Amino acid sequence: MNRRDLLRGMAMSAASAAVLGAAEAQRNVVQLGTSPRDGVSWQKAPCRFCGTGCHVQVGVRDRRIVAIQGDPLAAVNRGHLCVKGYHVGLAPYGPDRLTRPLLRRNGELVPITWDQAIDVIADRIQANPAGFGFYGSGQWTIPEGYAATKFVKGGLGTNNIDANARLCMASAVTSFIATYGVDEPASCFDDFERCDVVICWGNNPAEMHPVLFSRFIDRRSRGEQVTLIDIGTRRTRTTGYAQHYLEMKPHGDLAIALGIMHLLIREGTYDRNFVERHCAFRALQEANPTLQGEAIDFETWKRRVEEYTPERVQELSGVPASEIRRLAGLFGNRDLRITSLWCMGMNQHTRGTAVNNLVHGVHLLSGHWGREGDGPTSLTGQPSACGTVREVGTLCHALPGGGAVANPAHRAAAERLWSLPEGRISDQIGPHTMEMFRQFGLRPEEGGNIDTIWVQVTNPGQTIPNASEYFDRSRTIPGKFLIVSDVYPTLTTRAADLVLPSAMWVEKNGMFGNSERRTQQWFKMIDPPGEARDDCWQTIAVARRLFDRGHPGMRDAEGRFLFHTTDERGREVPIWDFRRYYDVNVDERLFEEYRGFTATKHKNLAPYREYVAARGLRWPVVEKPDGTWQETRYRFVEGEDPFVPESAGFQFYHSTSNDDRAQIWFHPYEPPPEVPDTEYPFWLCTGRVLEHWHSGTMTMRIPPLRRAMPQAYLELHREDARQLGVANGDRVRVESRRGAIELVAWIDGRGQPPRGSVFVPFFDERLRINLVTLHEYDPFSKQPDYKKCAVRLRRVGRGAAS
């Protein structure tokens, strides 16, 4: 058999395993990962891209990735991949990897040594510790994010750290906390196998989470009946699979949820038993609106939803009253199992917390909660927005394991676990992303207290809204210093004062946590190029440099280095020296330390070794009497969640009302902060596309993906185009009150916005739509709204659609 025959055989074996399911997969995996085939060694890793958390088998030969196979043993994807996962093995091989530290001197980025780079960072921190901000990402691995949190909160004694997940799912976080008293979805992806109805709330999983979406489509291929209802502001690929498309006005989702609740009450079809046993009611206090809100009784709550009749909701949302009745009818039928899905559409919303709360409330009120296939499920866009950002304390208010810096008991526990002197951790919540960058763009005398930001694993130069104000402005102010760790040149590295080359994905050890609480692990498989190094090492090296210079924060209560690490014989391992970094498994050490935090909020994790063996485990993971470790599919549900006692049925044991009840909130409909007018008559919505992941840093360097979707574009309605004199391929200027760019028009393209509305993807750094978007954000989550602002359009000329 020649090599190509062998490869064809392997490809067919993988496809057969995916068709036949677990039994065949089990046979297949014995071959995979245990012995090299054709000189190729195979190891498992989660995909580098979205929050679905597909597992892949990575084939390595001669220290290069040569093949990718969907992992047939992974419950998330069962061997399947999307077009990005199919190409993920090419992500490290763009032609322009960053390979040396670069420092800006006389306007130019010039190579320096790592030692010099670490000194520069230490100098900046020592000069003004309170002015230093760390800005990370939902692509940080769990140990990387944990190390950054410990460095800033336990070492520097500030809370000046936040992450780009602030821009993508912070509203989901605040809503989970407001509803259940603790963050993260209670349900999981198993819902896709059992639901009768899927409702997508401003969500396009057919493009953004295609493998997850295929689990539902797969059921249809087997002849099962599953109803898909797509609620959105434009037709997308998901719409093509939907039986019902409900086109809403921007912010119409608030009204739709209120309308369903109104009808459930009016028709008496809400789940009285579930509500009486397990729910309480809540609303914002007018004088002092906080995330805690105030308790209200059921009668008061009912009076507040009274005005949201189907007809009133039709006025507010644009969705016909008959469709509101249809939705309420579905929720009123408890024989059905209903899964609600959402992602950026509900989170990037100036009332994101409110609309998240209301959708949870619809499910709680109707009793469509806690059964397989029957509940609200938020999705995330990044591979570890959940596992890292939300869990290890990288948000400016948080501590690892769901703790809060404002809570004295949580601070004390963290100081104990980190062996810190009492009082080291600050009780002052740090600046959230938008505030951090606002301050970075102001002079000190204007209140610009942040003078140094270290960015790791993200690209704010492209992704911060109203970018000229919130990003570019800082680059014109003397004394502001931007440090960026990344793998490829980006808009952010090009604007930086110091650039650090990073290792990516399987060039280092790592752990991610996906959207269903699944913690995943992988080992380093290939070397990073040139002098690129692990982000986690970079953080530890800076901490050590500060330690060596006598910074008191880098010592624990016993005078040891904050990241003190020993070998099996108890001797200190100098992990700050990159040559020694892999002498021990730093990921394992950090993870085992982090585990100590996770029991407080019942987010228990298994030992590191369990994740080495598994394709991810969903927390809480608890040890059974026989010594094995058991994951949890559904939280707060008897028989599923190990912390719910027998006979409880459901128990919301972190209830904010301290009575084991979930909160059904009332929030009124509120219009968007900026709406089209005569000067700026169009809505602008921004988002992602199937081929590119976020700001395109990796996927635009994968030739087939770049060729498939080479540049950003402007989607607009045919009739609007006609009135503007715009033809397909014409160049159009898109302008808001904040900025303007020119884009190529795409009429009747992949997505179809309604009249008066346009869409632009944000992956293309050459066409930075975030110069145009709005910086307004949700008052609780501080998450900005990228989905709606007012723009005007002008045809510029015939385009050179390249």
Partner 1 sequence: MPITGAVILLPTEEPARRALFERLERDPRVELGIEAAGRLALVVETETTRECTNLFDELSALEGVGAVLPVFHDFSDFHDARDAQAGPSDARSER
Query: Which stretches of the chain bind partner 1, using CB under 8 A?
Result: 4, 7-8, 10-21, 59, 61, 63-64, 66-70, 72, 79-83, 85-87, 89-90, 93, 97, 99, 210-211, 213-214, 217-218, 220-223, 527, 529-530, 703-704, 707-708
Options 50, 82, 169, 434, the catalytic residue: 169
**Which CB atom, from 647 or from 802, has the smaller least distance to partner 1?**
802
**Which CB atom, from 253 or from 507, has the smaller least distance to partner 1?**
507
C-alpha triplet 198, 201, 207: angle, nearest 5°: 80
**Which CB atom, from 185 or from 528, has the smaller least distance to partner 1?**
528
Is 168 among the residues known to form the active site?
A: yes
Per-residue DSSP letter, 602: T
Residue 620 preceded by cis peptide, ω within 30: yes
**Which CB atom, from 10 or from 199, has the smaller least distance to partner 1?**
10
The residue written with tokens 């987010």 in the block is: 603
Q: How far is the CB of 189 from partner 1 (least distance, A)?
A: 16
Q: How far is the CB of 528 from partner 1 (least distance, A)?
A: 8
Options 57, 382, 439, 520, the catalytic residue: 382
Q: How far is the CB of 513 from partner 1 (least distance, A)?
A: 24
Q: How far is the CB of 61 from partner 1 (least distance, A)?
A: 7
Which H or E element spans position 493?
helix 491-494
Options 344, 504, 525, 698, the catalytic residue: 344
- Residue type for position 346: M
Is 436 among the residues known to form the active site?
A: no
Grouping H, G, I as helix, E, B as strand and the rest as coil, residue 567 is coil
**Which CB atom, from 210 or from 402, has the smaller least distance to partner 1?**
210
The residue written with tokens 């409900």 in the block is: 246
Q: How far is the CB of 13 from partner 1 (least distance, A)?
A: 8
Q: How far is the CB of 37 from partner 1 (least distance, A)?
A: 11
**Which CB atom, from 83 or from 291, has the smaller least distance to partner 1?**
83
Q: From the CB of residue 570, how many other CB atoms can be counted at a distance below 10 Å?
A: 6
222 Cβ contact list (under 8 Å, min separation 6): none
* Residue 367 C-beta-side C-alpha neighbours within 13 Å: 18
Grouping H, G, I as helix, E, B as strand and the rest as coil, residue 717 is coil
Is 456 among the residues known to form the active site?
A: no
Please answer whether residues 410 and 404 qualify as being in contact, where contact means their C-beta atoms are separated by less than 8 angstroms.
yes
Options 10, 168, 346, 504, the catalytic residue: 168
| Alpha helices (H) in 332-442, listed in sequence order | 344-347, 352-366, 408-417, 433-440
Per-residue DSSP letter, 156: I
685 Cβ contact list (under 8 Å, min separation 6): 233, 234, 250, 753, 757, 758, 759, 760, 786, 787, 788
**Which CB atom, from 192 or from 213, has the smaller least distance to partner 1?**
213
**Which CB atom, from 21 or from 408, has the smaller least distance to partner 1?**
21
Q: Using alpha carbons, select from 46, 43, 3 the residue that is nearest to residue 515.
A: 46
Which H or E element spans position 210?
helix 210-221
Sheet bearing 244-247, strands edge to edge: 244-247, 227-232, 197-201, 338-342, 375-378
**Which CB atom, from 214 or from 695, has the smaller least distance to partner 1?**
214
Q: How far is the CB of 213 from partner 1 (least distance, A)?
A: 8
Q: From the CB of residue 2, how many other CB atoms can be counted at a distance below 10 Å?
A: 7
Q: Is the dihedral of CA 691, 73, 41, 524 positive or negative?
A: positive
How distant, in Å, are the alpha carbons of 550, 563, 566 from that of 560? Answer: 12, 8, 11
Please answer whether residues 464 and 739 qualify as being in contact, where contact means their C-beta atoms are separated by less than 8 angstroms.
no
Q: How far is the CB of 379 from partner 1 (least distance, A)?
A: 18
Options 50, 54, 82, 84, the catalytic residue: 84
Q: How far is the CB of 204 from partner 1 (least distance, A)?
A: 15
Q: How far is the CB of 95 from partner 1 (least distance, A)?
A: 9
Angular region, 156: left φ>0, alpha ψ -120 to 50, beta rest:
alpha
Which H or E element spans position 116?
helix 114-127
- Residue type for position 105: R
Q: What is the DSSP string of 605-665?
A: ---HHHHHHSS-EESS-EE-TTS-EE--SSTTBTTTSTTSPTT-SB--TT-TTSSS-EEEE
Options 59, 94, 373, 381, the catalytic residue: 381
Is 345 among the residues known to form the active site?
A: no
Q: How far is the CB of 534 from partner 1 (least distance, A)?
A: 16
R_g of the chain, CA atoms, integer Å:
26
d(CA 10, CA 668): 57
Per-residue DSSP letter, 155: I
781 Cβ contact list (under 8 Å, min separation 6): 166, 170, 171, 173, 174, 175, 347, 352, 353
**Which CB atom, from 68 or from 714, has the smaller least distance to partner 1?**
68
**Which CB atom, from 21 or from 639, has the smaller least distance to partner 1?**
21
Is 382 among the residues known to form the active site?
A: yes
Please list the residues that pair with 227 across neighbouring strands. 197
Q: Which residues are catalytic?
A: 84, 168-169, 344, 381-382
